[in-house]
Amino acid sequence: MTIIFLLIGISLLVALTFLGAFLWAVRNGQYDDAYTPSVRMLFDEPEPPQ
Amino acid sequence: MACAHCGEDCPPAPLRWSDKDFCCAGCRTVYELLAANNLCSYYTLDERPGLKVREVELPGRFDYLDSEAVQAQLLTFRSQERARLTLPVPQMHCTSCIWLLEHLPRLNPGIVEARVQFLRKEISITYQPEETSLKAVVQLLASVGYEPQITLAELGAQPHRASRTLYYQLGLAAFAFGNVMLLALPDYFSFVEELQAGFGRFFGLLSLALALPVLLVSARSFFRSAWQGLRQRYINLDFPISLGLAALFGVSTVEVLTGRGKGYFDSFTGLVFFMLIGKWVQQRSYDALRFDRDFTSYFPVAVTRLTPAGEQSISVKELKVGHRIRVRHQEVVPADAVLRRGAGQIDYAFVSGESTPVARTSGELVYAGGRQLGEALELEVVREVSQGYLTQLWNNPAFAKQAAPRSLETYANRVGRGFVALTLLLAAGTLGYWAPRDQAVMWRAFTSVLVIACPCALSLATPFALGAALRVLGRHKLYLKNSAVVETLARADTIVFDKTGTLTDTSQAAVQYQGRALSEPEKQLVATAAAQSTHPLSQRLARELAAEPVPLQACREFPGQGIRATAAGGPTVRLGAAAFAAAGSELATPAPRAATPVAGGDADALAAPETHVYVSFDDLPAGYFTFGNVYRPALPAVLAQLGQRYRLAVLSGDTDAEQTRLRAIFGPAAQLLFRQSPADKLAYIAAERARGHTVVMVGDGLNDAGALRAADAGLALTDSLTNFSPACDAILDAAEFGQLANFLSFARACLRAVLVTFGLSFCYNGFGLALAVQGRFNPIVSAILMPISSLSVMLVATVLVGWAARRHHL
């Protein structure tokens, strides 16, 4: 059953990767504004100048 | 007919441009600018996104932005080819605003990127200093109707920083919670006993390792807040929470290290996680309703100093006694100063509330905070900014809300204090009961009492219930400063109204004409001339006369004084202040109370119950228009609802001419006070509070700033939501005034919802305590009870508030 140590180690590692990804995202400003991007993505491309 | 830009009603003869109607030249200019740059999607994204362009173009208003010192403070990044800054733009309100503001690079190619943070109402702009300048960028923003609000750090403005700490704490707590729960699982099921026997200690130590960062990082804010409270000899809700968390962690650590058990690490991390969610909800509702502007926003950032070498733009802080400064039309006088040159028409609306400008001539003293209307003035500073009248006004201790007086304390804190006493009593009782009987049970029971008494559900009830209430009220254009205001509104027993601008609607003022009868062509000429101006009185007059427009030969507006217009082949009309209309003739002011009051300031201004606009034709006086009071149509209904429950009072700066009318609307019980100066209003509120009443002051946020601030809750009624007063706790859109009684009743319902969730949380705590004192509380009970109580409190609070909102049709 010592495999459990290894398995838990790996699962923790995976979880830590996700925690790291989350912290990276916060650091990167992904959570600074949770509203504007949802509007921004709906804007059309600029019309070609006439 | 609605203006194509701002959607407001157009005057009878709207300005036209490419088949569209506009209410004023400002709106048309914006439309032209957007159309020329192919940006008309602005008008299709949201309904009537435009804002009426009210500000008059002022040459040199943004000159100070060229100054090195100012740029150094505003720019967050700066190099040869890139400069970056973030500006607050409080006017943005819809999808179209985001769209237009992010398309700024198309209006000015020097701007590289513009990004909007909608909830915080900020725009981050990156531009090329070689192509354009900070001044040009700000001017562009102002010209499309989104003038940024610039305050400099040196004036005490707090730069707002996005707080990411909570996200770090939340992420860490969630991570630990999930993993500790997995590790705790074998403990709960008998069929994995074998696993538990072999690995129990390893799992326990691992849980401890995972929970440690939660204690040190995630739970830090609770401990800090409790400690701060203790240092001020004050026990807040975070104190019992910290006590519970500390007990939970301590017991678990001892159990794990001594190998006696597995501890409560799953409950511990779970609790911290849930409470952080509560904090997050709270922060999000605040972010959406942020209005932490202070009075420094009203101060001019820079002033034009006159030196022998010429004009020089300096920061307000550098202003010294004896400096000569220039104040232009619409600019605020930054410091108490003596007028040296020019005719002053000072509008003290922000300081004293009199919107009628006060005339000042050379040699007279002008107080800080007044706004000049009219020609540019030359002033000599006699007192430095920090000692100025405005600063004194705001620094007046009477205006500051006392730190945590009885009535401002939230229910949660008060209940929390009782909780602490009860918990400590119970814990001591448990110790006393078990000490002679069973030492082992004694310690377990003692610590479990501390653990289960952690009032996490209490701390969740308030942010969820009142946060939901804030959002509901925000949807109906009542914006509250924070959730404590909901409680204050719910507890209020006295409502005090300001009259002008609050009970009356200035845009609906009744217009009466006195003087010789006007012929039809004259009426038309007056209407046409009035329509040319953006001044509210002119607009009102043009709407009232509603005559056919006549072609004008010449028309000129003298800001702060009036309009002069000449009809094609006809007479010249002068419309405006008495002195202006009478210029060139020996017109005696027709009434003693007429004209804009001179000298003496407030006292005289208060005596003028109505505002007059004088008319003269070819320099011969004809008469004057009187703008009387019209009460808001919703007023009687609102008062009828409020009168059943609240004590009502009216504080008016005007004479008692309206007393009989007000008495009829307010009923015999209400207190009606007239000729109240801002200081009188303040004193009245303070006296009411001293008598133990909880007072809500409803004003327009301008002429009663002191009273709004002195009241338990100051509610500012405003026609444009960007006109915030720093003194108030809540802002209500004037159009929603009719709902006031409903809002207050909703606030009471929300407070009841909070109390219900408190009750619910006590049920859980009571059940847990019953087990705890018997020493039968164990990790499994804790793991089930704690999350259920937290989740159900969040759910019940949200559902109850939603239900109350539905019942109140909000």
Q: How far apart are CA B644 and CA B348, in angstroms?
A: 37
Indicate whether B208 pLDDT > 90: yes
Per the CB < 8 Å rule, is B119 touching A49? no
pLDDT of the residue at B602:
33
Per the CB < 8 Å rule, is B168 touching A26? yes
Q: How far apart are CA B225 and CA B232, in angstroms?
A: 11
Q: How far apart are CA B700 and CA B353, in angstroms?
A: 9
- Classify residue B128 by its DSSP letter: -
Per the CB < 8 Å rule, is B202 touching A5? yes
Mean pLDDT of the B179-202 span: 76
Mean pLDDT of the B367-375 span: 74
pLDDT of the residue at B216:
94
Q: How far apart are CA B708 and CA B712, in angstroms?
A: 8
Greater pLDDT, B805 or B341:
B805
Q: CB burial class (10 A; 0-12, 13-18, 19+) of residue B807?
A: exposed
Q: Is B7 left (phi over 0), alpha (psi -120 to 50) or beta?
A: left
Nearest-by-Cβ selection for A39 from B95, B162, B172: B95
Supply φ then ψ for residue B196, to 5 degrees: -65, -40
Structure tokens at B503: 């009970």
- 3-state secondary structure (DSSP) of residue B160: coil
Q: Give the count of beta carbons closer than 10 Å to the beta carbon of residue B80.
A: 8
Interface test with B, best of A43, A45, A50 (most B CBs within 10 A): A43
Greater pLDDT, B246 or B19:
B246
Q: How far apart are CA B373 and CA B342, in angstroms?
A: 11
Question: In chain A, what residues touch B95 (CB-CB under 8 Å)?
Answer: 39
Rounded to the nearest angstrom, the minimum Cα separation between A33 and chain B is 6
| CA-closest candidate to residue B351, choices B387, B299, B293, B316 | B299
- Tell the residue number behind the tokens 């990276």, with chain if given: A24
Contact status of A19 with chain B (Cβ, < 8 Å): yes
Interface test with A, best of B96, B103, B119, B196 (most A CBs within 10 A): B119
Binned at pLDDT 50, 70 and 90, residue B330 comes out as low
- 3-state secondary structure (DSSP) of residue A44: coil
Question: In chain A, what residues touch B120 (CB-CB under 8 Å)?
Answer: 33
Question: In chain A, what residues touch B179 (CB-CB under 8 Å)?
Answer: 11-12, 15
Per cent of chain B over pLDDT 90 is 8
Q: How far apart are CA B332 and CA B377, in angstroms?
A: 11
Spell out which chain B residues touch chain A, with contact meaning CB-CB distance below 8 angstroms: 38, 41, 45, 95, 98-99, 102-103, 106, 115-120, 162, 164, 167-168, 171-172, 175, 178-179, 182-183, 195, 198-199, 202, 206
Nearest-by-Cβ selection for A50 from B38, B99, B168: B38
Per the CB < 8 Å rule, is B198 touching A1? yes
Comparing alpha-carbon positions, the chain A residue that sits nearest to B101 is A40
Per the CB < 8 Å rule, is A23 touching B168? yes
ipTM for the predicted complex? 0.89
Q: B667-679: string of b/e by CB count within 10 Å (b at 16+)?
A: eeebebebebbbe
Contact status of A3 with chain B (Cβ, < 8 Å): no
pLDDT of the residue at B396:
47
pLDDT of the residue at B702:
57
pLDDT of the residue at B168:
92
CA distances to B7, B491, B492, B514, B705 from B693, rounded to whole Å, are: 43, 10, 8, 45, 20
Contact assessment for residue B603 and residue B516, using Cβ atoms and an 8 Å cutoff:
no
Q: A25-46: string of b/e by CB count within 10 Å (b at 16+)?
A: ebeeeebbbebbeebbeeeeee
Interface test with A, best of B116, B201, B281 (most A CBs within 10 A): B116
Contact status of A18 with chain B (Cβ, < 8 Å): yes
Nearest-by-Cβ selection for A33 from B103, B119, B206: B119
| pLDDT tens per residue, range B602-644 | 333 333 446 677 888 887 888 888 777 678 888 888 888 888 8
Confirm whether pTM is higher than 0.90.
no
Contact assessment for residue B148 and residue A11, using Cβ atoms and an 8 Å cutoff:
no
Mean pLDDT of the B52-56 span: 57
Q: Give the start-to-end residue ranges of the domains of chain A.
A: 1-26
| pLDDT tens per residue, range A25-47 | 999 888 887 788 888 888 877 66
| pLDDT tens per residue, range B682-738 | 788 888 888 888 899 888 765 566 677 778 888 888 765 544 455 677 878 788 888
